[in-house]
Structure formats: structure tokens, C-alpha cells
């Protein structure tokens, strides 16, 4: 166990595997990624650390989009994915489905356009406590303003873990101007 200075506070460092660590005391634990932190006197805030990663990378999701309106993603499970009940948190599964279904839509729409989730409907079938998850998604319907996609998550034994359908709003560009965001 190593003591580190972080954000002007002293913490114990617990290295849990090669890709991430937990810093904290007692019940106030936070996951960080070692390659984004310099412990030798440099003080970074949590926001600065998180801004160095995109969302998929933060949750360990590897995605392969295809131009035919299909998408496949994989996630090797570790402690950061678990709830207090010691199984994969439903929000992790929801994020995996939303990202993969969005990837299927993005792969099937004209280049330069974007999409945003309007609705996501999920059915959870069984808990998961270890292993690798694979999510497959496909674009089912495309209109001038919306797209509909569906997908499933299976464990490494091929068992169905969760399924989802989603409706996406098609945007004229991938990134939207800030005036379209809520304050």
C-alpha cells in the first residue's frame, strides 16, 4: 500500500489491476486510471482526469461499428462494473446497450450526420458476476428524422443477459452547437 498526494489530500493507493486503481479512504473510494495521473507533486482534479478519457474507454467498452448498420461491443468485467450487490450494475449494461445500439445507427446513416438517443427500453434477464460480455446491435428502421435499433448482451457462455430497443433522433451533424444544449 502506497500513500499518495492527490488534490491536496493524502490517500492510500490500492492497485487492483494493471489498468485502474482506487484512491480513497473508508467508503469514499474513486476509480482512476494510472496513465492519466502524475503522482510526483502534480495536482489534478477528478474532472481533469476524466476528461482525458472518452466514455467507452472509461467503462472498458471496445466497440466495432460496421457500415451496414450493425455494431458489436465487448467488455471484460472487473470490480468497477459491480454494484454493492456484487454483480454488474444495471447502468453498466444500459450504457453498453445504448452505446452499441447508437453505433449501429451511426454506421447506417449518411456520413456527417449524427444521432441522439430518444428512448431506450431494456429487459434484464439474469445477473452477471464475472467474465466477458458481448453486445450485438442492428439498425432495424431508418426514416428521415429517426432510427430504430435493437440489440442483445450475451455472456461468454452465450446466455442472454439483457436486450434492448431504442429510438434515435437523427441530427444534421455529428456534434451539435452549444445553443442546442440545456443550460
Predicted pLDDT of residue 123: 98
- Inform me whether the pLDDT recorded for 77 exceeds 50: yes
Q: What is the pTM of this model?
A: 0.70
Q: pLDDT digits over 8-45, tens only?
A: 555 544 444 444 454 444 444 454 544 444 333 334 34
Concatenate the DSSP letters of all residues of 12-65 into one string: EEEE-SSS-EEEEETTEEEEE-GGG---SS----HHHHHHTS-HHHHHTEEEEE
Predicted pLDDT of residue 124: 97
Please report the domains of the chain, with CATH numbers, ordered by start residue: 2-51 (no CATH), 55-180 (3.10.129.10)
Predicted pLDDT of residue 176: 73
Amino acid at each position: 500500500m502506497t500513500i499518495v498526494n492527490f488534490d491536496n489530500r493524502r490517500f492510500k493507493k490500492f492497485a487492483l489491476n494493471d489498468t485502474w486503481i482506487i484512491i480513497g479512504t473508508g467508503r469514499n473510494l474513486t476509480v482512476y486510471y494510472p496513465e492519466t495521473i502524475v503522482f510526483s507533486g502534480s495536482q489534478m482534479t477528478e474532472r481533469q482526469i476524466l476528461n482525458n478519457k472518452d466514455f467507452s474507454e472509461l467503462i472498458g467498452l471496445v466497440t466495432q461499428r460496421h457500415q451496414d448498420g450493425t455494431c458489436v461491443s465487448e467488455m471484460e468485467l472487473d470490480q468497477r462494473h459491480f454494484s454493492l450487490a456484487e454483480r454488474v450494475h444495471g447502468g453498466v449494461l444500459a450504457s453498453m446497450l445504448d452505446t452499441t445500439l447508437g453505433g449501429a445507427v451511426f454506421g447506417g446513416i449518411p456520413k456527417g450526420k449524427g444521432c441522439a438517443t430518444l428512448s431506450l427500453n431494456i429487459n434484464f434477464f439474469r445477473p452477471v458476476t464475472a467474465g466477458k460480455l458481448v453486445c450485438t446491435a442492428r439498425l432495424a428502421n431508418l426514416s428521415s428524422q429517426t432510427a430504430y435499433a435493437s440489440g442483445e448482451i450475451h455472456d461468454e457462455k452465450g446466455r442472454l443477459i439483457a436486450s434492448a430497443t431504442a429510438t434515435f433522433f437523427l441530427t444534421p451533424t455529428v456534434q451539435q452547437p452549444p445553443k442546442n444544449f440545456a443550460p
